[in-house]
Amino acid sequence: MNILSDRDKLFFLIFNEPLSKADVIVLLEGDGYARLPHAVRLHQEQWAPKIVVSGGARNRLYGSFPAHKLVAKLIKMGISPADIIIEAASQNTRDQAVNIIIMAKENGWEKLLLVASPHHQPRAFLTFLKAMQDARAKLHIINAPARELPWFEKNPWGRRFDLLEAEMERIERYKNDLALFSEGIVHQRKKTMKLPPRKSLKRKRR
């Protein structure tokens, strides 16, 4: 008897995935400004040379701040405008995945560091994987959720712990736009076998 489902196994892999250097950091709109410090840290530690800010939805009550608002914050946090790429057409996670995969093919990107909040990361990953499959692209989608965000913090759009349940409902509702859990496991296995060993997250002295 299998105690763990494919969903359980995939979630464990996503939340415990080692970082690896990539071509770009893909910062998904959502959860207000909470994800920005994590993306900045990844950039400062040179995990990728560029940050792609993705999302054009405007719904502050849902935590969706448009890309130009996030970009202004990133610049104030020390990121050079030259290191920021804006994708502001997307209105939802599926749009983000499709548009970023197109950009990856156009720019020759092979590895993407995908940044979302922990409760959103599984659906984001599966959506990107499905968009990659549909586009017949061969990419490494490396999960880099902002693990340091508190689960029980109160926000106008809700506690992340409570939003996790809503994300599970969306995974079922939008299942046609998501890869299967088993396909996610296969991607993780193939990708992990090719990635270099995990490096320290300690910042280098300047």
How many alpha carbons fall within 13 Å on the CB side of residue 168?
9
Burial of 179 (0-12, 13-18, 19+ CB in 10 A): buried
The pLDDT tens digits of the residues spanning 94-106 come to 999 999 999 999 9
Q: Residue 205: is its pLDDT beyond 50?
A: no
Residue 5 · residue 99 · CB < 8 Å: no
Name the CATH superfamily, with its identifier, for domain 6-194: HUPs (3.40.50.620)
pLDDT tens column, 44-54: 999 999 999 99
Please check the confidence at residue 66 and state whether its pLDDT lies above 90: no
Give me the pLDDT at residue 59, please.
Answer: 87
Burial class (CB in 10 A: 0-12, 13-18, 19+), 44: middle
Name the band, by pLDDT with cuts 50, 70 and 90, for residue 204: very low
pLDDT of residue 162: 95
Is the pLDDT at 75 greater than 80, yes or no?
yes
Q: Domains of the chain: which residue ranges?
A: 6-194
* pLDDT digits 0-9 by tens, 93-142: 999 999 999 999 999 999 999 999 999 999 999 999 999 999 999 999 99
**Mind listing the pLDDT tens digit for each residue in 163-188?**
999 999 999 999 999 999 999 999 99
- What is residue 195's predicted lDDT score, i.e. its pLDDT? 60
Q: Is the dihedral of CA 31, 73, 68, 51 positive or negative?
A: negative
CA distance 144 to 14: 8
Per-residue pLDDT, 123:
97
**Both structure tokens of 164:** 């996790």
